[in-house]
Structure 1
Amino acid sequence: MTGIATDTAGEAMAPVMDSAIGTGRTILIADDDRAIRTVLSQALGRAGYEVRTTGTASTLWNWVSDGAGDLVITDVVMPDENGLDLIPRIKKIRPDLRIVVMSAQNTLLTAVKATERGAFEYLPKPFDLSELVNVVRRALSAPKHAAAGTAREEPEEEGLPLIGRSAAMQEIYRTLARLMNTDLTVMITGESGTGKELVARALHDYGKRRTGPFVAVNMAAIPRELIESELFGHEKGAFTGATARGVGRFEQADGGTLFLDEIGDMPPEAQTRLLRVLQENEYTTVGGRFAIRANVRIIAATHRDLTQQIRQGLFREDLFYRLNVVPIRLPSLRERSEDIPELVRHFQAQVAEEGLPAKIVDAQAMDRLKRHRWPGNVRELENLVRRLAALYSQESIGLEVIEAELAAVPPKSEASGSAGEGLGSLVERHLRDYFAAHDETLPPAGLHDRVLREVERPLIQLSLEATKGNQIKASQLLGVNRNTLRKKIRDLDIQVIRGVG
């Protein structure tokens, strides 16, 4: 069977072919762009679905009101009505009808509003056609209750915490929108300055605990001996100086969200107590005898590689898996350089509100900003915009100024440690942290071999990468016998992508 689907304006669509997946299922598409309607109709037609398209929200509403369609795909901006505003009306008369929202307004708020109002999925434009077909299949096969949203008061556009329309940020927005109605524990990773606390606040502010408190605590900023008291509170007389009962961060965050920043810096004894909270959902104060029920959502963040810290004995593996229920990796600014112009405009608006003069960054200067490595990420860019506003009298900022500013900032290694820090200093600092983590007890035996292994493995891997897997050249580069290198590769379980001989 083949067919031609048309809207009320008589727009002809592509023939729809029979398919074991799509036979008998009708997709309603509303988008004011004829080209998009045609492409979607052809793609879904090839997948075996009946397709009806329109360029107006009113026609879509008429179809839905008449009981037509098994799934709706709608744009947000249409000539007669916003597609997001149409969703609650559709859900009221046909609560089980799945709705997929697509939009070129690729902001966090668009994703959140689409989910809030009951959309099954949100797809930012441009999107991959195969992804859309997969979304349609998932939507039509999902349980009926999966299509229903929970209406709540929606956040305002003002103060939107996350900026950027790059593909990397779109995936972050979609993930946050899916998580907002849950209490799942989230682990946020990323380089310093990428905005980990902003993501944590977005999860809270747009989530079901938004009316509760948001409490942030930085593990790296608290003395080791005070962390347990800081988190869980203490009883009077629990330790020297405890002259009164102290309220911990878990108690302060009751009913809301507790954000544990730089979780990789948490000492082992506090890790053990935190693990109990996650396992049993209760805790005791320092010096306390009675368990207290924990009523918080936990979001953790770190710029460290926790898997490496687990191997080094610095972080509990069981705690990692309890925290890493939903991992979110934030991209570095160099991974989403297309967002830089929008970020610059956002920071310029902020400094203007603070009374600093508005500036314009010309095209050449902006291109230079997009090519910079940004070791300090978004925080570094924000600081630069503030300096430009405060220190330069000219209204237009050109390439010469940007070159001077970027040259004035000392380069920072993308690896941990400050610029110019030698390998010996890095190893010494790492070992000091390692011994400190074991406090008064000695680390496990075999430390010499473990340290050598940690250094030797990346050294050999990088040498093989530099020589494109040529083991003869790699052995010459390292200054070791070829047979010795082969043994090291085998013992260290190093995978050679393309070897010679």
Structure 2
Amino acid sequence: MSRILIVDDEASICWSFRESFSDLGHEVEVASSAEEGLRIAASGPLDAVVLDVRLPGMDGLSALGPFRERIGPAPIIIITAFGDLDTAVRAMEGGAFDYLVKPFDLDQATALVTRALASSAAPQAVPGDDGPDSGPDALIGNSPAMQELFKQIALVAPTDVPVLITGESGTGKELIARAIHRHSRRRSGPFLPVCLAALNPNLVEGELFGHVRGSFTGATHDRRGLLELAGGGSVLLDEVGDIPLDLQVKLLRAVEHREATPVGDARPRRIDVRLVAATNRPLAELMKSGEFRQDLFFRLSVFQIEAPPLRARRDDIPLLAAHFLRSCRFAMTTSPEITPEALAELRRRPWEGNVRELRNAVEHAAVVSRGQPIRPEHLPPAGLGLAPSGPASGDGGGTSPPADDDARAIADRLSAWAAREVARPGAAPLHERFLDLAEPPLLRAVLDLYQGNRAAAAQVLGIHRATLRQKLRKYGIQ
């Protein structure tokens, strides 16, 4: 049995946690303020604390330090009604085990606290706080997909391990890399991005490792490479899948031994740099074809982050659009408003180019509207010429509409299945058989997309969380 403290000024949340953990055999204490919670913590050992951010008096993030002093390594879980990257980083820097974003599923919260109780230690704190991300290159979003991304950044930023960021073009992989650097111990050092796909293959080695005078025609002086220039900071290897195969061995040595040998020099030089790699290419396929070394992949991908596509976070579109208008690079005295009709059109579109395409569309509309409220006709043509606008979506997630060939193939298969099943005597009603066939893969796909977050999955599916729980039990889905 464990002793758990719940600190929240909402009586319903305290009651729910008390009932849930008491049923599991734990002793539960509740407090409506951080000050009251600290007094309880001083009265005896605690095995876990669930701490709300918004509290009367001292807020939860400010209380993290005092709680840590009183309870030692026991895990602390933060509850917040608005999870942004700053909240995630401050929570992790303060030693929180994890955080929950309201509204959350009680089963999910119970599983998280149970996992925290089983953990051996809380994450180590990292000093410093840069304040909230609000600049033009900020990561914006409230969606479950972005909350998971914020958690991953907050977890890996304090470490020095290499990070591999994958995702479609336009999803903000460089912004993620900058956020990792900005919230790391290396934040005072340089952040140097290099797009390997944009370099002449003959220049990549010199760009990364430098060269010495006379090493090739035109090398009139010594030049330090990015891996050396970024000493004490971070280097982003963008489009890492395009690095020439013969240089991959040299990069592997730089990662493993922290040394770089300039072109034309036999003496390696020590480097102190954190490597972040990014790509929109399928490295697994490149490894199978022999175009990318497996050992280099494993060294660069100690921690992997998948940048979510915009279609998986449609609820963030209004926030992103407003942000792009505020930080519009075109000189405007005031930011025009976006009409509900224009927002509805933005949510309908497939966004093959993701956030980059959305930004271009918003800035285009700002120019065309000339300071007046933005309407649908001010927006540029939909998509990249690859697909028409999809149906309206208010679910905050989902996927882009399937291609016509896929849709026809699915319809043909369903027609054949229905013709066969309707003739089966004594079987369950056809509608039930169809749901038993179609629902399990749909539920699994949505849960996988949102990392098991049932509240987000229920919202995307358009059903109540209780209904989702019933369906998961029915199909035996964990």
User: How high is the TM-score relative to the length of structure 1?
Assistant: 0.75
Q: Secondary structure of 2:370's partner? A: coil
Residues 97-176 of structure 1 aligned to structure 2 (within 5 Å): 97-143=74-120, 146-147=121-122, 149-159=124-134, 161-176=138-153
Specify the alignment match of 2:231 in structure 1. Answer: 254
Counterparts of 1:45 and 1:238 in 2: how far apart (Å)?
72
Q: Which has the higher contact order (CA 8 A, sep 6+)?
A: 2
Residues 467-478 of structure 1 aligned to structure 2 (within 5 Å): 468=413
Specify the alignment match of 2:435 in structure 1. Answer: none
Which amino acid in the other structure matches residue 384 of structure 1? A
Counterparts of 1:360 and 1:35 in 2: how far apart (Å)?
38
Which amino acid in the other structure matches residue 320 of structure 1? F
Say if 1:276 and 1:282, in contact at 8 Å, map to a contact too: yes
Counterparts of 1:180 and 1:279 in 2: how far apart (Å)?
20
Which amino acid in the other structure matches residue 166 of structure 1? S
From 411, 430, 454, the counterpart of 2:385: 411
Q: Secondary structure of 2:211's partner? A: coil
Counterparts of 2:34 and 2:295 in 1: how far apart (Å)?
51
Q: Secondary structure of 2:328's partner? A: helix
Unaligned runs of 5+ in 1: 1-22, 415-459, 472-496
- Highest CA radius of gyration, 1 or 2? 1
From 158, 168, 173, the counterpart of 1:191: 168
Specify the alignment match of 1:423 in structure 2. Answer: none
Q: 2:60 aligned with 1:83, yes or no?
A: yes
Deviations 1:340-372 (A, max 9, x none): 011111112112895353111111221111111
Cα offset for 1:327?
A: 1.2
Counterparts of 1:241 and 1:61 in 2: how far apart (Å)?
68
From 293, 302, 308, the counterpart of 1:325: 302
Counterparts of 2:335 and 2:217 in 1: how far apart (Å)?
54
Counterparts of 1:101 and 1:255 in 2: how far apart (Å)?
32
Of 127-136 and 248-257, more deviation after overlay is shown by: 127-136
Q: Secondary structure of 2:194's partner? A: strand
From 202, 213, 238, the counterpart of 2:179: 202
From 55, 60, 80, the counterpart of 2:32: 55
Counterparts of 2:232 and 2:166 in 1: how far apart (Å)?
25
Deviations 1:410-457 (A, max 9, x none): 42479xxxxxxxxxxxxxxxxxxxxxxxxxxxxxxxxxxxxxxxxxxx
Residues 347-426 of structure 1 aligned to structure 2 (within 5 Å): 347-351=324-328, 354-393=331-370, 395-402=372-379, 405-407=380-382, 410-412=384-386
- Percent of paired sites with the same residue: 39
Q: Secondary structure of 1:360's partner? A: coil
Unaligned runs of 5+ in 2: 389-404, 417-440, 442-478
Counterparts of 1:107 and 1:348 in 2: how far apart (Å)?
20
Say if 2:166 and 2:278, in contact at 8 Å, map to a contact too: yes
Say if 2:353 and 2:384, in contact at 8 Å, map to a contact too: no
Of 52-61 and 366-375, more deviation after overlay is shown by: 52-61
Q: Secondary structure of 1:147's partner? A: coil
Counterparts of 1:320 and 1:469 in 2: how far apart (Å)?
41
Deviations 1:3-35 (A, max 9, x none): xxxxxxxxxxxxxxxxxxxx2x11111112222
Cα offset for 1:90?
A: 1.7
Question: Aligned in 2, Cα 1:361/1:465: closer, same or farther, shift over 3 Å?
Answer: same
Which amino acid in the other structure matches residue 210 of structure 2? G
Paired residues, what number?
Answer: 400
Specify the alignment match of 1:240 in structure 2. Answer: 217
Say if 1:95 and 1:148, in contact at 8 Å, map to a contact too: no
Q: 2:8 aligned with 1:65, yes or no?
A: no
Specify the alignment match of 2:17 in structure 1. Answer: 40
Cα offset for 1:159?
A: 3.2
Q: 2:71 aligned with 1:94, yes or no?
A: yes
Q: In angstroms, what is the RMSD of aligned CA positions?
A: 2.6
Counterparts of 1:354 and 1:182 in 2: how far apart (Å)?
40
Question: Aligned in 2, Cα 1:319/1:157: closer, same or farther, shift over 3 Å?
Answer: same
Counterparts of 2:112 and 2:123 in 1: how far apart (Å)?
16
Deviations 1:255-300 (A, max 9, x none): 1111100011111112121112123322211111111123111110
Q: Secondary structure of 1:187's partner? A: strand
Q: Secondary structure of 2:203's partner? A: helix
Deviations 1:283-329 (A, max 9, x none): 21111111112311111000111111222232222211221211111
Counterparts of 2:338 and 2:103 in 1: how far apart (Å)?
28
Say if 2:126 and 2:185, in contact at 8 Å, map to a contact too: no
Say if 1:63 and 1:69, in contact at 8 Å, map to a contact too: no
